[in-house]
Every structure is written in structure tokens, then in C-alpha cells.
């Protein structure tokens, strides 16, 4: 960065985008509030679920969320509560929702981050090779794989993987976070967990790999045919260097967009994958909460996921602006 | 060689020319057939001289420029046969990994579309550095880039600018800087001023002129602008449908052109103010034929005001006319009387 005018406006742009996303987050909190209040029956039910709760706790909730007051006052109280991390209480698990979700968040994040890193690496590699050897058998395979991979639903590919690698070949565990028969410790425990992660990560990655491959390939091919690449070649820059330096730089923007904007997909996908593979993360928690009609937990997860999606999109936009100097900051 | 050429040419013609094209055929493969946008028998750029290549749009000037580097913007184009000897190396014969070392190092190219010649997301400085380092000039690379920026009239600040932050004139200066950065003996400039504003055109032309003198550069200057040719070139080649139809010193061509096509070009140029216009003006009926409908015999015969029987049947060779070389039957002793 030159540290001059252009750099300044970039930071201003970032600040502006952050400020802009605040109303969106507020909007989501309001929608969540309306879901609680407009649900049929007593809002208390929505906040504590269908569980037989002691009368004095119902009173506490009623007071805490100001349910005896007007809708406007209640909205403000609710916003205040949410900002303090007060998302309600899960009677199914008998802990506050925030605590419950945070306890499981790490496992989901491990799954998601591993997927993103793995899928991006594989998709990039496949896309680069396909673009470099365009129309070769390898390219045709990559294009075919990308098309098929994109259209297979996660729960189906997940079950297919379980059938093949767990049931038929018996190579990998089909479900859970770690082995229950042998209690591994230290490094072996991590190895055991990694083995449990392989199938869920594969299932979750498939579509992501397909997307990244397709996008890397097409944006590389486009770049390598652009005028400035021809110009760079007339300056004697070798083809390989052009591919790595110019081609991938141009491909970076769409790839980051994919990672950012398909975050929602990964979130939804991880809920399915966690269910199929019995991975005790937030997705699995969501699934269980639906079954148990545990509304507070469901609403809490919904709220947190929505905010997370907004934040990731925000980060994507900002990174995007940092990578491409042509983006106008207005 | 002609004894009348100025002293500057005299001292240099002793040396081997910086660029010599012989029997060049460049082809473009299109479904079902192959087209030939360039068929040049001979084109020479002597050391230290500026050679103009002029002709209407579609005559094959850009294809000739790309042929010099043996590098084409489309994979469909390639050199069919011939030789292109650039500073002693035949760009047709030598292997691609050798050609890569020559492009940008022994020959710099300047484009019309300056806006499209640089990567939009990499700073100017980094792109010039990339070129220097690629060609093994590691020592004082940054200082070299800054000095060449200065040479083309740009401040050191441009080093850290992105292409979109510069004006057209500045970007074309960067284009020239990039052509010069490895100190090549030859520059190929394809319509370097055409896309610029008229006032900026004049500045860029001045810059090219002064750098050429300063460095004793050889330049192959492609243009449709005869005003530019008159101002900066020593020699000129006139191209029509892929072939050279006339060549000689600028002075002689302007004074007494011998080929009917050149005569048409010059009349067109003098009848309107041609400097700064995008299209070359030709005081000739009809338009240049496409590569799929190349006329038989002399390729100009369907537009020429002097067409004779032989013109339709047989292609004319070159005739020397008052120190110029013209490919036209009019100068053949047998036919000129008709
Ligand atoms: N990719 C291509 N496929 C088919 N024909 C092509 C292709 N590129 C160029 N040509 C043809 O080759 C011929 C020469 O083109 P070229 O661009 O060299 O002309 P030019 O003299 O540079 O014209 P201009 O003054 O418009 O730049 C033209 O007839 C053009 O139509
Ligand atoms: S050869 Fe014939 S047609 Fe061609 S330019 Fe000369 S006179 Fe005209
Ligand atoms: Mg051209």
C-alpha cells in the first residue's frame, strides 16, 4: 500500500461498510423478536419452549423480557437482552442458550474451516490444471466433476460416503466425534478425531470443490486470454509466471467471493452433515432442537447464524476491496 | 543500396540490420481453411533508423508486428514460413524458451491500447520490475525502473500507482517505459498515438523522437497516419492486403510516389487534415478486400485507376523507380507503354 489517498479511502470504505451492516443486524434481531411475539400462544412458550417450567421461572422470564408491557417497550428490552447475550433458556438441555451454542460452536467451526481450506485447495488445484491444459482429458474430467459435484445434495453424498468407506470398506468411522470403545489420549486423540472428520468434511466439501474448480478454471481462462496477458507475454514474461502471478491474482477476487457468499451454504450444509454423521456441533443441536420443539435454542441459533452470515459477507466485501484497487469506495 | 540515402543511413547500412524479414508468411487457421494476413518478401529495419509501416485498416500491420515477436494474441495465428532475423537471431527458427528471453529484452513493443497493456491490479512499478527481473537484471532494478520512468517524463510517484489511476497519455508513457526498460536495440510500436487526444499525440511523438535520437534506437513504427511518417520516419514500407507494395525513403515517397496505391494514400492524406483522425483517408474507390477474397494478380487491381490486362493475371515484382521500390506493372518496360 502506498499509504496515500487511496489507502485512506479504503479504510473509510471498510468503516462505512461496518456501519452499514449495523441496521441489517438490528433488522435481524427485530425479525427474531417478531417471530417470538407473533408466534401463536404465549410468547413465554416461545422463550422457554414446551417444557413444564416452574411458575416462578415463568414469572422471571415475563419480567426479564418485559412481557407485561407494550410491544415497543418489549422490543427495546429484547434488543437490550440480545446485546447482553441473553438469548433465553433451553429447558431441553437445562442451560442458557448462549452457553449451549458456544459449547458446540468450536466443533462446527473446526468442520467448516477444515472444509473451506480443503475444498479451496483442491478446487484451486483442479481449476488451475484444467485451465492450463484446457480441453485435455484432465480438463474434461474437472468440468464433469464440477458439474456432478455441484448437483449432488449433501445428505445423499454423505450417505454414499458412509456406505462406501464405513460400511462396505470399513476404513473410516461413520459417525460421532471420537471413538467410544477406546479412550485415546493426547496426540492419538487428535488423530482419532481427525479420522472421524474425514467423511463429514468430504461430504461437505464436494459442492464447494465443484464451485471453486469451475470458477478458478473459467476466470483463469478468461484472464489468460485478456489483452494485458498478451502484453505481458510480449515483455517476455514466461507463461508459467503469468499463470501464477497474473492469472491467480485475477482469480482471487471471484474465489474469495465464493468463499464469502457461499458461507450460508456451508452453514446449511454443516447442519445436514452433522446430522448425517452424528457430529455434535451447532448443526446437530439445531436438528435436535427442532425435534424437541426447543424454540429458545432454535431462535438463538437462527439469530447467531444470521449475524455470522452478515459479518462474513462484510469481511468478504472488505477483503475484496483490498485485493482489487479498482473498486470504487462509494 | 541506394547511394542517395542520407549520411545517417550510410554509416549504418554497413552493419547488419537490426531486423530483417524475408519471405514471411503468417497464417490464421479458421474452420475449413487457412488465411494469410501477412506475405512479406522482404522488410529491413537498419540500425538506428525509424521505419514506418503504413496501410489501411486490415492490411496486416499488426499481424506483422506480432510476427516479429513470433507471438500472437490468438492461438489460431502462427508463422507458416520465412525468416525474421532480429539482432542476429531468427525468431522463426529459435525455440520458444529462447524467444521468451528476446521479447521485452531485445525488442520492446508499444501498443495502441495502452489501457489494456497492463494488469489492472498490479502497480506500474511492480510490472516494470517483473519485466526487468524476468530478464535477469537484478542489479539496481528499482533504480533502473525509476530512471526509465524519468526518461519518459513520469515522476517517481508513478512507480506505486495502479494503471487506472493514470491518464491515457501517462499510461502510454509507461508503455514506452516498459518497451525501453531492458534497453533493447529495437522497438515495435503499433499505432502508439492513435488512441490518444490530439495534443497528447504530439507530445508522445516528440518523446519517441527524442528517445530515438538519445538512444540511437531502431523503431518499426506502425501507423496509418502519414503525418507521423513524415515527421519521424527515415524509411517507409507501404502495405496492402498483407503485402508490401512500395518502399523507400520517406523523402522520396512523399515527393514522388511510384505505386498507384501509395499515390492514393498520399492524395487522401493531403485532401483532408489527416493527423489525429482514426481512419486512413484514401483517394481511391472501393475498399480493401478481406482475406477470403484476395484478388488475383496484383491485389490492388480492382481499385487501381491504371489497371491493365496483365495486372489481373500476374503478380508484379519490384521495380526500382527513382530510388524507390514499387511492385507495379506500370514500371515494367514492356507494359508501361500501354
Ligand atoms: N483472429 C483473427 N481471425 C481471423 N482473421 C483475423 C484475425 N485477426 C486478424 N485477422 C485479419 O487479419 C488481417 C490483418 O489484420 P491486422 O490487425 O494485422 O490489420 P491492421 O493493418 O493492423 O489493421 P488496423 O489498422 O485496423 O489495426 C485482417 O484482414 C483481419 O481481419
Ligand atoms: S500492377 Fe496494375 S493494378 Fe497493380 S497497382 Fe500497378 S497498375 Fe495498378
Ligand atoms: Mg492494427
The rounded distance, in Å, linking the Cα atoms of B120 and B25 is 34
Interface touch A246/B135, C-beta < 8 Å:
no
**What confidence tens digit (pLDDT) does each residue in A158-191 have?**
888 878 877 777 777 777 777 666 777 777 777 7
Among A33-47, A225-239, A273-287, B142-156, top mean pLDDT goes to B142-156
The rounded distance, in Å, linking the Cα atoms of B194 and B62 is 13
Q: What are phi and psi of B82, to 5 degrees?
A: 115, -175
Pocket probe for ligand 1: among B30, B37, B77, B278, the residue whose CB has the most ligand atoms within 8 Å is: B37
| Per-residue pLDDT, B271 | 54
| Per-residue pLDDT, A328 | 60
Interface pTM, i.e. ipTM:
0.86
Q: What are phi and psi of B68, to 5 degrees?
A: -60, -40
Give A309 or B331, the one with higher predicted confidence.
B331
Put simply, whether B118 touches A (Cβ < 8 Å) is: yes
3-state helix, strand, coil in chain B (%, to 5): 40, 25, 40
Contacts of A237 in chain B (CB under 8 A): 104, 130-131, 134
| Per-residue pLDDT, B5 | 44
A14 has a pLDDT exceeding 50: yes
DSSP code of residue A305: H
Closest CA relative to residue B201, chosen from B177, B233, B172: B172
The rounded distance, in Å, linking the Cα atoms of B117 and A185 is 59
Length of chain B equals 338
A3 has a pLDDT exceeding 50: no
For strands B324-327 and B243-249, give the pairing.
antiparallel
Instruction: For the beta carbon of residue A19, count every other beta carbon within 10 angstroms.
Output: 9
**What confidence tens digit (pLDDT) does each residue in A57-78 have?**
777 777 766 667 777 887 888 7
Interface touch A235/B103, C-beta < 8 Å:
yes
| Per-residue pLDDT, A314 | 84
Residues with C-beta less than 6 Å from any ligand 1 atom: B 28, 30, 35, 37, 55, 57-63, 74, 76, 224, 290-291
Q: What are phi and psi of B192, to 5 degrees?
A: -65, -20
Mean model confidence pLDDT for chain A:
81
Give the Å distances, CA to CA, from A90 to A46, A52, A175, A301, B31. Answer: 11, 12, 25, 12, 70
- Exposed, middle or buried, A316 (CB in 10 Å: 0-12/13-18/19+)? middle
The rounded distance, in Å, linking the Cα atoms of B232 and B275 is 13
Closest CA relative to residue B204, chosen from B164, B226, B156, B172: B172
Identify the helix (H) or strand (E) that includes residue B53.
strand B50-54
The predicted model gives A243-254 an average pLDDT of 81
In chain A, which ranges are continuous DSSP H helix?
Answer: 5-38, 43-48, 55-64, 71-83, 97-132, 137-151, 154-161, 186-224, 227-234, 239-241, 248-261, 263-276, 282-291, 295-323
Identify the helix (H) or strand (E) that includes residue B312.
helix B309-313
For strands B107-110 and B186-190, give the pairing.
parallel
Mutate: best of A6, A135, A225, A234, partner B, most B CBs <10 A: A234
CB-closest option in A2, A228, A236 to B119: A228
Of all protein residues, whose CA lies closest to atom 25 belonging to ligand 1? B57
Of all protein residues, whose CA lies closest to atom 6 belonging to ligand 2? B328
Mutate: best of A235, A242, A248, A328, partner B, most B CBs <10 A: A235
- From the CA of B46, how many Å to the nearest CA of chain A? 22
Starting from the CA of residue B290, give the closest ligand. 1
A96 has a pLDDT exceeding 90: no
- What percent of chain A shows pLDDT beyond 70? 89
**What confidence tens digit (pLDDT) does each residue in A19-57 have?**
888 888 888 888 877 877 776 666 677 666 666 777 787
- From the CA of B231, how many Å to the nearest CA of chain A? 27
Per-residue pLDDT of chain B (338 residues; tens, 9 = 90+): 444 444 444 444 457 899 999 999 999 999 989 999 999 999 999 999 999 999 999 999 999 999 999 999 988 999 999 999 999 999 999 999 999 999 999 999 999 888 788 998 899 999 999 999 999 988 899 999 999 999 999 999 999 999 999 999 999 999 999 999 999 999 999 999 988 888 899 999 999 999 999 999 999 999 988 889 999 999 999 999 999 999 999 999 999 999 999 999 988 766 544 444 445 555 678 888 999 999 999 999 999 999 999 999 999 999 999 899 999 999 988 776 54
This prediction's pTM: 0.77
For residues A159-183, one letter each, b for 16 or more C-beta atoms within 10 angstroms of the residue's C-beta and e for the rest, the string is bebbeebbeeeeebbbeebeeeeee
A95 has a pLDDT exceeding 80: yes
- Exposed, middle or buried, B225 (CB in 10 Å: 0-12/13-18/19+)? buried
Phi/psi region, residue B109 (left: phi>0; alpha: psi -120 to 50; beta: rest), is beta
The rounded distance, in Å, linking the Cα atoms of B135 and B48 is 23
The torsion of the CA quartet A152, A157, A158, A160, rounded to 10 degrees, works out to 160
A330 has a pLDDT exceeding 70: no
Q: Which residues contact B23 (CB under 8 A, 6 or more apart)?
A: B40, B41, B42, B81, B82, B83
The rounded distance, in Å, linking the Cα atoms of A118 and B141 is 38
Of all protein residues, whose CA lies closest to atom 1 belonging to ligand 1? B74
Starting from the CA of residue B287, give the closest ligand. 1
Give the Å distances, CA to CA, from B21 to B13, B38, B53. Answer: 16, 11, 13
Closest CA relative to residue B60, chosen from B85, B43, B83: B43
The rounded distance, in Å, linking the Cα atoms of A196 and A194 is 5
- From the CA of A228, how many Å to the nearest CA of chain B? 4
Amino acid at each position: 500500500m502506498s499509504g496515500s489517498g487511496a489507502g485512506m479511502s479504503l479504510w473509510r470504505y471498510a468503516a462505512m461498510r461496518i456501519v452499514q451492516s449495523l441496521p441489517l443486524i438490528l433488522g435481524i434481531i427485530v425479525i427474531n423478536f417478531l417471530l417470538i411475539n407473533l408466534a401463536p400462544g404465549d410468547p413465554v412458550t416461545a422463550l422457554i419452549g414446551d417444557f413444564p417450567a416452574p411458575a416462578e421461572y415463568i414469572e422471571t422470564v415475563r419480567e426479564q423480557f418485559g412481557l407485561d408491557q407494550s410491544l415497543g417497550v418489549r422490543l427495546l428490552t429484547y434488543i437490550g437482552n440480545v446485546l447482553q447475550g441473553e438469548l433465553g433458556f433451553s429447558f431441553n438441555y437445562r442451560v442458557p442458550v448462549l452457553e449451549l451454542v458456544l459449547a458446540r460452536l468450536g466443533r462446527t467451526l473446526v468442520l467448516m474451516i477444515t472444509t473451506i481450506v480443503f475444498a479451496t485447495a483442491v478446487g484451486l488445484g483442479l481449476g488451475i490444471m484444467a485451465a492450463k491444459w484446457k480441453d485435455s482429458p484432465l480438463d474434461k474430467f474437472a468440468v464433469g466433476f464440477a458439474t456432478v459435484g455441484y448437483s449432488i445434495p449433501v445428505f445423499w453424498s454423505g450417505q454414499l460416503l458412509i456406505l462406501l468407506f464405513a460400511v462396505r470398506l470399513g476404513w473410516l468411522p461413520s459417525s460421532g466425534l471420537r471413538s467410544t470403545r477406546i479412550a485415546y489420549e493426547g496426540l492419538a486423540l487428535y488423530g482419532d478425531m481427525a479420522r472421524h472428520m474425514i467423511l463429514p468434511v468430504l461430504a461437505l466439501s464436494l459442492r464447494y470443490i465443484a464451485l471453486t474448480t469451475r470458477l478458478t478454471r473459467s476466470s483463469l481462462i478468461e484472464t489468460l486470454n485478456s489483452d494485458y496477458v498478451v502484453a505481458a507475454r510480449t515483455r517476455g514474461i514466461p507463461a508459467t509466471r503469468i499463470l501464477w502471478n497474473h492469472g491467480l491474482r485475477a482469480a482471487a477476487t471471484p474465489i474469495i467471493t465464493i468463499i464469502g457468499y457461499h458461507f450460508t451454504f456451508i452453514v446449511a450444509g454443516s447442519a445436514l452433515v452433522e446430522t448425517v454423521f452424528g457430529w455434535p456441533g451447532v448443526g446437530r443441536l439445531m436438528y435436535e432442537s427442532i425435534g424437541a420443539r426447543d424454540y429458545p435454542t432454535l431462535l438463538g441459533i437462527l439469530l447467531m447464524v444470521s449475524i455470522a452470515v452478515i459479518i462474513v459477507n462484510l469481511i468478504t466485501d472488505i477483503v475484496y476491496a483490498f485485493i482489487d484497487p479498482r473498486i470504487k469506495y462509494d | 543500396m541506394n547511394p542517395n540515402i542520407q549520411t545517417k543511413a550510410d554509416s549504418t547500412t554497413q552493419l547488419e540490420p537490426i531486423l530483417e524479414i524475408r519471405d514471411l508468411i503468417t497464417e490464421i487457421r479458421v474452420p475449413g481453411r487457412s488465411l494469410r494476413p501477412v506475405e512479406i518478401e522482404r522488410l529491413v529495419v537498419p540500425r538506428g533508423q525509424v521505419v514506418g509501416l503504413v496501410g489501411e485498416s486490415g492490411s496486416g500491420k499488426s499481424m506483422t508486428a506480432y510476427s516479429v515477436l513470433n507471438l500472437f494474441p490468438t492461438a489460431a495465428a502462427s508463422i507458416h514460413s520465412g525468416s525474421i532475423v532480429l539482432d542476429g537471431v531468427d525468431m522463426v527458427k529459435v525455440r520458444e524458451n529462447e524467444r521468451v528471453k528476446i521479447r521485452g529484452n531485445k525488442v520492446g513493443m508499444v501498443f495502441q491500447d495502452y489501457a489494456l497493456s497492463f494488469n489492472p491490479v498490479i502497480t506500474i512499478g511492480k510490472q516494470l520490475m517483473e519485466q526487468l527481473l524476468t530478464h535477469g537484471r537484478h542489479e539496481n532494478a528499482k533504480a533502473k525502473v525509476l530512471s526509465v520512468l524519468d526518461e519518459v517524463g513520469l515522476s517517481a510517484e508513478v512507480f506505486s500507482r495502479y494503471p487506472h489511476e493514470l491518464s491515457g497519455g501517462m499510461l502510454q508513457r509507461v508503455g514506452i517505459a516498459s518497451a525501453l526498460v531492458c534497453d533493447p536495440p529495437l522497438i515495435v510500436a503499433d499505432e502508439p498515438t492513435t488512441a490518444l487526444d490530439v495534443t497528447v499525440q504530439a507530445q508522445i511523438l516528440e518523446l519517441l523522437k527524442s528517445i530515438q535520437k538519445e538512444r540511437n534506437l531502431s523503431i518499426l513504427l506502425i501507423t496509418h497516419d502519414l503525418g507521423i511518417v513524415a515527421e519521424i520516419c527515415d524509411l517507409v514500407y507501404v502495405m496492402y492486403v498483407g503485402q508490401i507494395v512500395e518502399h523507400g525513403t520517406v523523402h522520396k515517397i512523399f515527393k514522388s510516389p511510384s505505386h498507384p496505391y501509395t499515390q492514393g494514400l498520399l492524395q487522401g492524406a493531403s485532401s483532408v487534415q489527416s493527423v489525429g483522425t482514426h481512419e486512413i483517408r484514401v483517394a481511391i474507390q472501393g475498399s480493401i478486400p478481406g482475406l477470403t477474397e484476395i484478388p488475383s494478380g496484383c491485389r490492388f487491381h480492382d481499385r487501381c485507376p491504371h489497371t491493365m490486362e496483365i495486372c489481373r493475371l500476374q503478380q508484379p515484382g519490384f521495380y526500382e523507380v527513382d530510388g524507390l521500390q514499387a511492385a507495379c506493372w506500370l514500371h515494367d518496360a514492356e507494359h508501361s507503354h500501354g
